[in-house]
Structure 1
Amino acid sequence: MAKIVTVTTQKGGAGKTALALLLATGEALRGERVLLVDLDQQGDASYSLVSDYDPSKTSYELLTSESVQVPAVATPVSGYLNLDLVPASLTLERVEVELAGVLDAQFILSDKLEAVKDDYDLIVIDTPPSLNVIVSNALTAADKLIIPVQADIYSFKGMATLAQRVKAIQRRSNPRLSICGIVLNRYNPRTNLSKAITEALNEVAEQFNTKVYRSTLRDATAVREAQNAKQSLFEYAAKGAKVTEDAKALLNEIEEDLKNG
């Protein structure tokens, strides 16, 4: 039965989609059956994996149409034997309005993923950088939460608000939700700023009752180049790239957390 992992943060540009792609493609290449659900209207994860898909079969339809279930909108990703994608759509921007007044709207995604949990080993949810009904759905559906944080002072803005939302979800709609940890992204260990942020981040982790992952992801053009080439980082920079070694180490840490609970 699949573990469901949501990747979210309120701050844009923190590497949320890159982390979701790393987790989904990395586990698929290791032989796991993976579903990536793209809930970000920008659709960067979808663009990075699939060149073309049916615009009427997306996560928007999954959230707004009672009759649409996951198998109807899941697209196999070429080049992977066991990776499926529920792509995003620009129409996701309308979800907030369309679900206004819908009873228990935050449970829509959870209910639909429950029906396919036996078909996958891992389900990864990429989210928009906000705290809207889409993110509430993603948090209500998840077993685990991973929070990426960019190594700059602006990434701490909104973290307290996110912590409050997570605690509210744990109290009301998803008591099983736990936070795996915080990932420091675009990190340069040689700068004094990054070192100071690392120290501050440990204090932030206490708000979430979690940890900061030991493995960080350095700032590297290979990450963006891999996305543009529609390849995983593990394939695009398979040998010798330090960022790929970072990613493998982080993936190992996350795997350990998922296995242990």
Structure 2
Amino acid sequence: MDTQHTTQDFQHLKQGADDYIKRRNLRLLANHRKELRNYTRAEASAYLGIDAKTLDKYVAAADIDPRRHEDSQWSIDIAEMYRVRDLLPEALRKEPKFVRSDKQQAQVMVIQNQKGGVGKTVSAATIASGLATEFHQEYRIGLIDMDGQATLSMYYAPEAEQEGNLSVGDLMMRNFDLDEGETFEQVVSEAFLETTVPNLRILPAAQSDRAMEGWFHEHVFSHQLPSPYSLLSDIIDSVKHEFDIIIIDTPPSLGYATFNAYFAATSVVFPLSITENDIDATCSYFSYIPQVWALLENANHPGYDFMKILLTNHRDSSTTTELMNNLYDYFGPYLYSKEFKHSEAIRQASSLLSTVFDMSKSEYPKSKATFQSAQQNGYEVTSQILRDILNVWREQEQA
């Protein structure tokens, strides 16, 4: 045993892993290149809440040819849908466009659980895309991928790392140089990338962000980082005016990256898969969470606007019913009443690097009824989260 051989072994493992991930990502991109969500004439009419004749009028006014496609079928994509909606008079819009007042703060929600496999990333992606697409107020949504696995980034910015875009780790570790006249705020704003949803942007992660924990330890121990929990908060503060709601996906661990997410957040949602093992592991985590909060409070966190538990992977069974009854006994006030149900449509969409809100029913390759049910379930889950956010904004406006 010697350090030289051990170093070589770790380097070989790293190289193999990097090559494997690169090959996997290239294969995913080749097989599942993500396109804008498309709508048939009936879907577009239902989405906007107007009849087909009125729809045709405003599609023409937006200078869109819905039959330009090879098959000549009527279809418009989500970006074109937003252009049409922008032309509608207020009387025809389902909801007026939201404009956040000076009193209403951008809401920053962290999706966190130290237990892996409970649905953090799928929940974050579904909630973000649902808030962006299913509510006609056109909320400006930001996503931040704090997990070095970069799974969420594969949904919305799969080519970010190959194209040399800055990751959240690059920003936190300051792995960039400012050009002459360029500001930190400009760098951060450009790092939030456009996605296939017009009002949803993402600050991606990269595989290299796995080095972040080591970087934090080195800088904290050498006294070069007096405020190690506030780096992400500084990043968000520089672009808060560009977003209404920011959602942070976190790794299944409790390192400096997760503490930064907690410190930057104004609210917390804990996804919890309804299985005995996941509940036990999450309860163990909750037993420790007061110590986490003590560190955050000591760093001058002002407290959260709300804190909720979101149940995931719900299957209809007597075992699930018993587990849910137990959860309501002990965590009732914190549980959202609507849970993400186990769904083949969600699983299938995820395999296509999408959520059920990134595609339309007509685009889904399998059972349309299953897909529509998953969309409705996602809408119900997202609606209750939005209600909490709206209540916070209402209180801030009245203060």
Local SS of the residue matching 1:99: helix
Out of 345, 352, 357, the position equivalent to 1:234 is 357
Partner of 1:74: 192
**One-letter amino acid of the counterpart of residue 140, structure 2:** R
Given the alignment, which residue of 250, 253, 260 partners 1:130? Answer: 253
Which residue of structure 2 lines up, in the alignment, with residue 251 of structure 1? Answer: 382
The one-character-per-residue Cα deviations of 1:78-113 (angstroms, maximum 9, x if unpaired) are x21111111111122211111121211100001110
Deviation at 1:5, TM superposition (A): 0.6
Counterpart residue identity of residue 154, structure 2? Y
The percent of aligned pairs where both chains have the same amino acid is 23
Counterpart position of 2:216: 99
Change (3 A) 1:165 1:128: farther
Structure 2 counterparts to residues 193-204 of structure 1, below 5 A: 193-203=319-329
Distance 1:28 1:164, change over 3 A: same
With over 3 angstroms needed to count, the CA separation of the structure-2 counterparts of 1:197 and 1:170, relative to structure 1, is farther
Q: Distance in 1 between matches of 2:111 and 2:338?
A: 16
More moved, 158-167 vs 16-25: 158-167
CA RMSD in angstroms, aligned pairs only: 2.1
Verify the 8 A CA contact 1:50 1:230 in the aligned structure 2: no
The letter for the 1-side match of 2:383 is: N
Aligned partner of 1:187 in structure 2 is 314
Which of residues 158, 168, 190 in structure 2 aligns to 1:59?
Answer: 168
TM-score by length of structure 2 reads: 0.60
Deviation of residue 121 (structure 1)?
A: 0.9
Q: 1:227: Cα distance to partner?
A: 2.3
Higher strand residue share: 1
1:159 matched residue in structure 2: 285
Aligned to 1:46: 153
Counterpart residue type for residue 294 of structure 2: A
For 2:329 and 2:207, locate their aligned partners in 1 and report how far apart those are by CA, in whole Å: 36
SS of the residue 1:233 aligns to: coil
Find 1:215's aligned residue among 329, 338, 353.
338
Q: Cα offset for 1:22?
A: 1.1
How many residues are aligned here?
A: 256
Does the residue aligned with 2:139 lie in a helix, a strand or coil? coil
Aligned partner of 1:139 among 262, 275, 279: 262
Q: Is the CA contact (8 Å cut-off) linking 1:131 and 1:162 kept in structure 2?
A: no
Q: For the structure 1 residues 140 and 151, does the alpha-carbon distance in structure 2 shift closer, same or farther, using more than 3 Å as the test?
A: same
Residue 182 of structure 1 aligns to a residue whose secondary structure is strand
Instruction: Measure how far apart 1:23 and its partner are.
Output: 1.4
Structure 1 counterpart of 2:211, one-letter code? R
Code of the aligned partner of 1:96? E
Q: TM-score, normalised by structure 1?
A: 0.90
> What are the superposed Cα offsets for residues 45-84 of structure 1, whole Å, 9 maximum, x if unpaired?
111122311345111112111866421421111x211111
Structure number with higher relative contact order (C-alpha < 8 Å, ≥ 6 residues apart): 1
* In structure 2, distance between residues paired with 1:178 and 1:166: 17
